[in-house]
Structure 1
């Protein structure tokens, strides 16, 4: 169960990074770059949250 949660979090972050990469290749505008860094941060937060929940559910 724990491994599953962690994997899901990592997968989500991976997906966000891939989407961001696609967008940046398509049009490297200032807005897109700003938006992209937001998404990357959000992805990092999401996996952080998942990791925390995973740790909490262990106890």
Structure 2
């Protein structure tokens, strides 16, 4: 079970979904926040950073 402040990251190409519902009560809370990264942007930034670092050598 995650604790407040814990972060879970995963590379999920397909949509994440549940097969069954979650019980709803005052004792059970579920909060999910998502953020997405475009791999083209990530890889482009990495290439630029590598070029800058290699220029310094």
Greater share of helix? 1
> Which TM-score band applies after superposition, normalised by the shorter structure?
0.3 to 0.5
Bigger CA radius of gyration: 2
How does the TM-score come out when normalised to structure 2?
0.38
By relative contact order (CA 8 Å, sep 6+), the higher-ranking structure is 1
